[in-house]
Amino acid sequence: MTSKKILLSVLLFSIIFWCKGQNKDKRTQFFPKTEVSVENIPNKENLWVFILAGQSNMAGRGLVEPQDTVPDKRVYTINKQGKMIFAKEPLHFYEPSMAGLDSGLAFGKALTQHIPDSISVLLIPTAVGGSSISQWLNDSIHREVKLFSNFKRMTELGMQYGTVKGILWHQGESDAKTKEAPLYQIKLSELFYQFRKIIGNQETTVVIGQLGSYATNALWSKINDHIKYYVSTDPNAGIISTSDLKHKGDKVHFNSEAQRLMGERYANEFMKLQH
């Protein structure tokens, strides 16, 4: 190899690594640098707990921007050590190399506009990207997280602080890739039964987000049909539409604007179900 070719190869590799670094910096550039602990924790009856569960579109892959790290004095979350902190995006910490904006903070902020001023909101993150519904039911270890056990542990932690009022669920992309897709509704019903069993209330509100309509995989719409059917059988379950929302360029994950809108829709659907 001539010295000219060697120089070109080195230059090419340098550009590739520089681009990777730029993308990484863009993803994390607005991540909060500090956590603020909640010193004056509300009384248990004044703290509503919500569990965020599912796969990557609940774990969040949107780009975090400055507005997503502005805390609300009534919206809290749990950090990796299990300590209550004021919520700033990203909320999920299980996949640090992929973490991004989810709909949790937008949900919390929107919800506080509809509930009494005396009530605060605690968001409990449990979603892990790429997880299938069977892995949740089987308590599989996925990306170093024992899915159902972690849900149980985190939910019980939330219950020490307040009352679980709802579960926000977004999942199904992984199941649309498997032969088990026709069983999705049955498994969804069983999983929510098990989730509610942990909470101790089979009437706990569940709000489910539809898969995006931008995918080329026809089975995504089938999963959405299963979700719609399940919701029709459960008076304590609701659904949010995502048909008008956009992906971030990969035809899999919602972009930042979509995540914020989903948060608002989760809040509106939750309130509707309370009536």
Would you say the C-alpha torsion 126, 128, 133, 135 has a positive or negative sign? negative
The pLDDT confidence band at residue 22, using thresholds 50, 70 and 90, is very low
Out of 58-62, 186-190, 218-222, pick the least confident: 218-222
What is the longest distance spanned by two Cα atoms in the chain? Answer: 75
Q: If DSSP states are collapsed to H, E and C, what string results for the chain? A: CCHHHHHHHHHHHHHHHHHHHHHHHHHHCCCCCCCCECCCCCCHHHEEEEEEEECHHHHCCECCCHHHHCCCCCEEEECCCCCEEECCCCCCCCCCCCCCECCHHHHHHHHCCCCCCCCEEEEEECCCCCCCHHHHHCCCEECCEEHHHHHHHHHHHHHHHCEEEEEEEECCCCHHHCCCHHHHHHHHHHHHHHHHHHHCCCCCEEEEECCCCCCCCCHHHHHHHHHHHHHHHCCCEEEECCCCCCECCCCCCECHHHHHHHHHHHHHHHHHHHC
Identify the band that residue 6 occupies on the pLDDT scale cut at 50, 70 and 90.
very low
Q: Measured between alpha carbons, how far is 192 from 114 in angstroms, rounded to an integer? A: 26
The pLDDT value recorded for residue 177 is 86
Of 73-82, 115-124, 178-187, the one with minimum mean pLDDT is: 178-187
Mean pLDDT of 65-90: 97
> Distance (Å, rounded) from C-alpha 91 to C-alpha 126?
10
Average confidence (pLDDT) over 134-150 = 98
Average pLDDT over residues 121-147: 98
Mean pLDDT, rounded, for 20-43: 86
pLDDT value for 2: 58
- Is the per-residue pLDDT at 16 higher than 50? no
What phi and psi values does residue 57 have, to the nearest 5 degrees? -75, -10
pLDDT at position 24 is 55
pLDDT of amino acid 50: 99
| pLDDT over threshold 50, residue 68 | yes
| Structure confidence at residue 25 as a pLDDT band (50, 70, 90) | confident
C-alpha angle 59/275/113, rounded to 5°?
Answer: 55
- What CA–CA distances, in Å, run from 82 to 15, 75, 97, 248? 40, 16, 20, 31
End-to-end alpha carbon distance in the chain? 74
Q: What is the mean pLDDT of the chain?
A: 92
User: Dihedral of the CA atoms 81, 192, 208, 176 (nearest 10)?
Assistant: 100
Q: What percent of the chain has pLDDT over 70?
A: 91
Contact at 8 Å (CB) between 262 and 109? no
Model confidence band, residue 21 (pLDDT cutoffs 50, 70, 90): very low
**Are the C-beta atoms of residues 204 and 236 closer than 8 Å to each other?**
yes
Q: At residue 11, does pLDDT exceed 50?
A: no
Q: How far apart are CA 34 and CA 84, in angstroms?
A: 13
4's tokens: 């000219």
Check if the beta carbon of residue 254 is closer than 8 Å to that of residue 63: no
